[in-house]
Amino acid sequence: MFDFTIFILILPLLSFLILGIGGKWIKPVIAGYIGSISLGIITILSYATAWMYFTLPRLADGTFEKLMPYNEVWLRFTNTLHFDLGILLDPISVMMLVVITTVSFMVHIYSLGYMKGEQGFQRYYAFLSLFTMSMLGLVVATNIFQMYLFWELVGVSSYLLIGFYYTKPAAIAASKKAFIVTRFADLGFLIGILIYGFYGDTFGFNPVLGPHEELGTGTLPALALGLMFIGGAGKSAMFPLHIWLPDAMEGPTPVSALIHAATMVVAGVYLVARMFPLFIGYAPGVLEIIGWVGAFTALFAAVIACVQTDIKRVLAFSTISQIGFMMVALGVCTSDDPHTGGLGYMASMFHLFTHAMFKALLFLGAGSIIHAVHSNEMSAMGGLRKYMPVTHITFLIACLAIAGIPPLSGFVSKDEILTACFSYSPVMGWVMTGIAGLTAFYMFRLYYNIFWGGEVSHGNLAVAPRHPHESPVSMLFPLIFLALVTCVAGFIPFGKFISSNGQAYDIHLNTTIAVTSVIVAVIAIGVATWMYMRPSRTVAQKLAQRFSGLHKDAYNRFYIDNIYQFVTHRIIFGCISTPIAWFDRHVVDGFFNFLAWGANVASEGLKGFQSGRVQQYAIVFLCGAVALVLLLIL
């Protein structure tokens, strides 16, 4: 009954081919409509899939799997080890279909206004279709190898979209940086897959790994799953592989919304969730490491976000921090029993869902602001609430949601994570509560600097009006829609549909933890209000001067990029690559050049015998014959 789901992958692929190959002959507005209508149909199919899946009777384990085509194996290595292509529907893959198509559809509609008049409009929509298809293929993959195939397509698509403005050096550098960093991470992912496949004799997600007992004992399962997590850490921008994500803001703002909300950066979280039974059964220690890596990343990114001045980079570091929350929620799970440890699994998936909506809203709201003032810097903003009322209200809703203010969706999903953290360790619980407070602070710092503060000359007056204006309807509709979803998504009985072992789980907020987190958030918002709401306040400047060292370090992202530059250029290139290059040029090339020189010298000496003169040949032949006769006689 789910055979129609194959069109969820086919339609964006067709859209990509039509716009990519025939875009030269298609008018830009028609290209936009083709891409948007295609995504609209895919969204309807995804909603229909979710409705049927969660309402109709399902298999005992809650999965539906169909191989393409005709349930045939594509490539067989052994009886159990084979590579298939198909569609796997289970609670988290169906949930991801809804998330990806909803956000992507809103981005397609929004782009009709935001990207209007841009050169390469058809190419932009072709790349959006490819990106969406790649992520949809990733989440419905029936095995880890198929996931890896679409995983790499997501990387290629992000490279194309981040570097869309290919005439800008910064955009080209950002696209290459994203591609290279994630490729290094994906090398670990690939090695982990090969270890898993070789010793487990399967590429499936089944926790029963096969006849090789050594994978069920010892360090091999932890090694394989740990290497797979490296790939997830690269895609989800976990420390220290986070450096590509802030620079990826050089791409169009709707692309940033798609990357951050529903596609690339959540792929790592989805990978850990998909492999969760394996982590629980064979490598719980790795799962704990994932939790602490997520906690450090969340704190690290939140501190940096507190001092950034580019509004898109504030949101970028916010995404890194929120992805850290999702990783922490998975890492603190002690079992797949929803009453003992599986709460974190459900909370992580719930936060992935709610975060996708309000983070897309934040990025699209930022795009609306940039569209009005022609600048990303807060210094070019201030007092915009009077000129952009719809953008102001929707942006405020998103800020309240990510800050964890009830009854918005971010409050419910965040507090489920905090509850899981306190169940795991009070230390982890208080650390994450503090990070949630930092989140509320930097988001309202951003909000007040944009919509309140003092009046400024908005943007570049040569190209922007003195008074910014509200965005067109094509841009406002996605903002309003996502704001409404953000308001109501917290009331979804998420645990009834998604849990670590398929059993229904009722969401019960821990009153003590919820009240504490709300108090922390309100205090953080109050501090931000005191520091940034009125333009006459100089508290922020005085604090920046008082803690100038920390402020400078945080503004420069704690120089992690500089460390990478030093390691790659000075150590790898200077101390390793340069001597190797010298050896290659002078020793290896010199040896082969010597062989060529020797052959040339020998040919110069021998070519006289190939003169073509018969008399010379006869004399040589006669002398040789005489020499042989004399040799035989003597």
pLDDT at 536: 61
Asked if pLDDT for residue 216 goes beyond 60, the answer is no
Instruction: For residues 320-329, give the mean pLDDT.
Output: 94
Instruction: For residues 200-207, give the mean pLDDT.
Output: 75
Q: What single DSSP character describes residue 377?
A: B
Tokens, residue 31: 């290209």
pLDDT at 83: 78
Which of these ranges, 95-99, 268-272, 490-494, has the smallest mean pLDDT? 490-494
The string of DSSP codes covering 114-169 is: HTTT-TTHHHHHHHHHHHHHHHHHHHT-SSHHHHHHHHHHHHHHHHHHHT-STTSH
CA–CA dist 220, 226 (Å, integer): 10
Q: Say which amino acid occupies 91.
A: P
What is the three-class DSSP state of 259? Answer: helix
Asked if pLDDT for residue 540 goes beyond 90, the answer is no
pLDDT more than 70, % of the chain: 89
**Higher pLDDT, residue 428 or 498:** 428
CA–CA dist 227, 185 (Å, integer): 9
**Higher pLDDT, residue 340 or 295:** 295
- Which residue in 448, 451, 443, 482 sits closest to 468, CA to CA? 451
Tokens, residue 511: 């009153």
pLDDT at 211: 43
How confident is the prediction for the chain on average, in pLDDT? Answer: 85
Query: Which neighbouring-strand residues pair with 82?
Result: 76
Q: What angle do CA 196, 329, 257 make, to 5 degrees?
A: 90
Instruction: For residues 147-163, give the mean pLDDT.
Output: 92
pTM: 0.87
Asked if pLDDT for residue 109 goes beyond 80, the answer is yes
pLDDT at 272: 92
Query: Which neighbouring-strand residues pair with 293?
Result: none
CA–CA dist 270, 76 (Å, integer): 27
Q: Residue 342: which residues within 8 A CB-CB, separation 6 or more?
A: 333, 335, 336, 499, 500, 501, 505
pLDDT at 456: 63
pLDDT more than 90, % of the chain: 43
Per-residue pLDDT reduced to its tens digit, 378-404: 888 888 888 899 999 999 999 999 999
pLDDT at 283: 83
Asked if pLDDT for residue 206 goes beyond 80, the answer is no
CA–CA dist 145, 246 (Å, integer): 29
Asked if pLDDT for residue 119 goes beyond 60, the answer is yes
Which of these ranges, 52-61, 295-304, 429-438, 519-528, has the smallest mean pLDDT? 52-61
Q: What angle do CA 361, 363, 364 make, to 5 degrees?
A: 65
- Which residue in 291, 357, 353, 276 sits closest to 325, CA to CA? 291
Which of these ranges, 24-38, 208-222, 602-616, has the smallest mean pLDDT? 208-222
CA–CA dist 174, 245 (Å, integer): 9
pLDDT category at 351 given cuts 50, 70, 90 is very high
Per-residue pLDDT reduced to its tens digit, 548-587: 888 888 888 888 888 888 887 677 666 777 778 878 888 8
- Which residue in 355, 359, 354, 383 sits closest to 369, CA to CA? 383
pLDDT at 230: 93
- Tell me which H or E stretch contains 64: strand 64-67
pLDDT at 460: 46
End-to-end Cα separation, the chain, in angstroms: 99
CA–CA dist 215, 211 (Å, integer): 9
pLDDT at 208: 54
Please tell me the chain's helix, strand, coil percentages from 3-state DSSP, rounded to the nearest 5: 75, 0, 25
CA–CA dist 502, 272 (Å, integer): 17
CB 353 within 8 A of CB 311: no
pLDDT at 1: 66
In which residue are the tokens 């800008």 written? 168
Per-residue pLDDT reduced to its tens digit, 51-94: 988 887 655 456 666 666 555 667 777 776 777 788 888 889 99
Which of these ranges, 69-73, 133-137, 190-194, 604-608, has the smallest mean pLDDT? 69-73
In which residue are the tokens 């703002």 written? 253
Q: How many residues are listed for the chain in this entry?
A: 634
Handedness of CA 237, 243, 247, 251 (dihedral sign): negative
Tokens, residue 238: 């976990």
Per-residue pLDDT reduced to its tens digit, 226-239: 999 999 999 998 99
Q: b/e string for 531-564 if b means 16 or more Cβ within 10 A?
A: bbeeeeeeebeeeeeeeeeebeebeebeeeeeee
Per-residue pLDDT reduced to its tens digit, 427-482: 999 999 999 999 999 999 999 999 987 666 554 444 444 567 888 898 999 999 99
Instruction: For residues 11-27, give the mean pLDDT.
Output: 89
- Which residue in 44, 291, 271, 21 sits closest to 146, CA to CA? 271
